[in-house]
C-alpha cells in the first residue's frame, strides 16, 4: 500500500484526486457528483488567488503549447468548465488538427475571461493563448517564433508561418501586441505510441530561458485511455518530466472533457466535477503568485514618478552647486 502511494505521488501531485479505478461517472445533475462541493471550494480558492480588478493588476497570460493532437484546445475547454458551475462549452475549437489548414498554419488565439467566464464578477481570471501548428523541431525559426510569442511581440491570429519566411524583422515591425507570457503550459498526450516531441521541448526550454525564466508547467492528457499504471505510460511521463525539468507540483496527468468519457453527452448540459477537481488543483498551482508577476499599475506609476523626482533632485543639486561657486 505504502509502495503504491509513493509511486502514484512520484507521477504527479494530482494523482490523489482521481479515484484509483480511473473511472469517471458523469452525472446528469452536477450536484450528484461526489466532488461537487470540493469543486465549488476550489473555484473560490482560485478566485481568491487571482484577486479582483480592484487590485489594478493585469490578469496573468498563460500560453498553452504543444504539438497538434495533444489535447491543448480540449484542455482549455476543460479548464473553462472547471471554473464554471453552469456547463461545459466548446469555447475553443478542438479536434481539427488533422485538416490541411491547421497542420501548416502556426498561430495563436487568445481567450480572455470575458469569453469563458462570468461577465458579472470582477475576478482577474487569466488570459489563455491557444497556440496551434508547431512541429517537432528546434530550428532557429521555431525558436524565434516561440521567443516572439513569449515576449508578447506577436499579433493575435497572425500567421506565424509568415515569420518563417521573413524572420524576426517582420514581427518587430508589426510591434508589440499583447502582454508577455507569465506561465507556459506544455501539453502532450500520454499515448505511449506517440513519440515525445523532444526537439520541440528543447526549443521551448531555450526560448523561455531568454525571458526571465517564465515558469513552465506540463500537462499530459488522455489519462482515461493511457492510465499511469501502464508501464509504457510511466516511462513516457518520466521522460516528459525530465525533458522539461518538471517537479511534481508543476505536472499533471489528466482527463479532458471528451466523448470517450461521456458517451451520453451529459457534459453538453452540465459539468463533471470529478474531472474538474484535479484540473482545479493543478490550476491553483499555476495561478499562485510569483515574485516576477506583473506588478500593480499603481506601482509602475510610482516608479516613473520617483525617477522624475530623482532627476529633478540631481538637477537642483547641480544648479545649487553652480550658483554657490559663482
Ligand X SMILES: Nc1nc2c(ncn2[C@@H]2O[C@H](COP(=O)(O)OP(=O)(O)O)[C@@H](O)[C@H]2O)c(=O)[nH]1
- Which residues of the shown chain bind Mg ion in the complex (CB under 5 A)? 72-73
Q: How far apart are CB 85 and ligand X at their closest, in Å?
A: 21
Give the one entry of ligand X, Mg ion, none that residue 69 binds, where binding means its C-beta sits below a cut-off of 5 to 8 angstroms depending on kind.
Answer: ligand X
**Of the candidates 306, 297, 270, 323, which has an alpha carbon nearest to the alpha carbon of residue 124?**
297
Supply the minimum distance, in Å, between the C-beta of residue 78 and ligand X. 8
| Nearest approach, Cβ of residue 243 and Mg ion (Å) | 21
Cα separation, 214 vs 186, whole angstroms = 12
Of the pair 74, 82, the CB lying nearest ligand X is at 74
Of 82 and 256, the one with the shorter C-beta distance to ligand X is 256
Nearer to ligand X, 151 or 275 (CB): 275
State which residue, 106 or 256, has the beta carbon closest to ligand X: 256
User: Which residue's CB comes closest to Mg ion?
Assistant: 73
Nearer Cβ to ligand X, position 79 or 246?
A: 79
Least distance between Mg ion and beta carbon 184 (Å): 16
From the list ligand X, Mg ion, none, partner contacted by residue 70 (C-beta under 5 to 8 A by kind): ligand X
228 binds, among ligand X, Mg ion, none (CB under 5 to 8 A by kind): none
Q: How far is the CB of 134 from Mg ion (least distance, A)?
A: 11
Q: Which is nearer to Mg ion, 17 or 128 (CB)?
A: 128
273 binds, among ligand X, Mg ion, none (CB under 5 to 8 A by kind): none
Q: CB under 5 to 8 A by kind: which of ligand X, Mg ion, none does 51 bind?
A: none
Q: How far is the CB of 264 from ligand X (least distance, A)?
A: 15
Give the number of other CB atoms < 10 A from CB of residue 294: 15
The closest alpha carbon to 254, from 207, 292, 219, belongs to 219
Give me the sheet containing 183-189, strands edge to edge.
107-111, 127-132, 61-65, 183-189, 216-221, 251-253
Q: Please give the Cα distance from 190 to 86 (Å, whole number).
A: 29
Q: Give me Rg for the CA atoms of the chain.
A: 23
Shortest Å distance, C-beta 77 to ligand X: 8
Of Mg ion, ligand X, none, which one sits near residue 260, judging by CB under 5 to 8 A according to partner kind? Answer: ligand X
Kindly give, in sequence order, each residue whose CB lies less than 8 Å from that of residue 243, ignoring residues fewer than 6 positions away: 196, 198, 201, 202, 205
Query: Which lies closer to ligand X via its Cβ, residue 72 or residue 281?
Result: 72
Q: Which residues bind ligand X (CB under 6 A)?
A: 66, 68-74, 94-95, 97, 221-222, 224-225, 255-256, 258, 260
Amino acid at each position: 500500500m505504502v509502495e503504491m502511494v509513493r509511486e502514484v505521488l512520484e507521477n504527479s501531485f494530482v494523482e490523489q484526486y482521481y479515484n484509483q479505478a480511473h473511472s469517471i461517472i458523469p452525472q446528469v445533475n452536477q450536484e450528484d457528483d461526489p466532488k461537487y462541493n470540493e469543486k465549488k471550494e476550489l473555484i473560490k480558492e482560485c478566485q481568491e488567488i487571482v484577486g479582483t480588478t480592484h487590485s489594478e493588476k493585469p490578469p496573468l497570460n498563460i500560453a498553452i503549447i504543444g504539438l497538434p493532437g495533444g489535447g491543448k484546445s480540449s484542455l482549455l475547454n476543460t479548464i473553462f468548465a472547471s471554473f464554471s458551475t453552469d456547463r461545459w462549452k466548446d469555447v475553443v475549437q478542438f479536434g481539427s488538427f488533422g485538416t490541411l489548414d491547421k497542420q501548416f498554419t502556426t498561430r495563436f488565439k487568445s481567450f480572455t475571461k470575458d469569453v469563458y467566464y462570468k461577465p458579472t464578477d470582477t475576478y482577474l481570471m487569466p488570459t489563455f493563448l491557444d497556440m496551434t501548428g508547431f512541429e517537432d523541431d528546434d530550428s532557429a525559426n521555431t525558436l524565434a517564433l516561440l521567443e516572439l510569442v513569449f515576449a508578447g511581440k506577436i499579433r493575435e491570429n497572425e500567421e506565424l508561418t509568415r515569420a518563417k519566411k521573413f524572420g524576426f524583422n517582420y514581427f518587430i515591425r508589426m510591434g508589440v501586441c499583447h502582454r508577455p507570457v507569465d506561465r507556459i503550459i506544455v501539453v502532450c498526450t500520454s499515448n505511449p505510441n506517440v513519440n515525445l516531441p523532444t526537439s520541440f521541448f528543447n526549443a521551448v526550454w531555450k526560448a523561455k530561458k531568454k525571458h526571465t525564466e517564465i515558469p513552465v508547467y506540463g500537462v499530459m492528457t488522455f489519462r482515461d485511455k493511457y492510465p499511469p499504471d501502464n508501464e509504457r505510460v510511466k516511462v513516457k511521463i518520466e521522460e516528459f518530466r525530465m525533458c522539461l525539468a518538471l517537479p511534481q507540483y508543476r505536472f499533471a496527468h489528466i482527463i479532458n472533457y471528451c466523448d470517450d468519457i461521456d458517451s451520453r453527452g451529459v457534459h453538453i448540459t452540465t459539468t463533471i466535477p470529478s474531472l474538474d477537481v484535479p484540473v482545479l488543483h493543478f490550476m491553483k498551482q499555476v495561478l499562485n503568485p510569483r515574485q516576477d508577476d506583473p506588478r500593480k499599475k499603481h506601482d509602475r506609476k510610482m516608479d516613473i514618478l520617483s525617477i522624475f523626482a530623482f532627476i529633478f533632485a540631481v538637477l537642483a543639486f547641480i544648479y545649487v552647486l553652480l550658483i554657490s561657486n559663482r
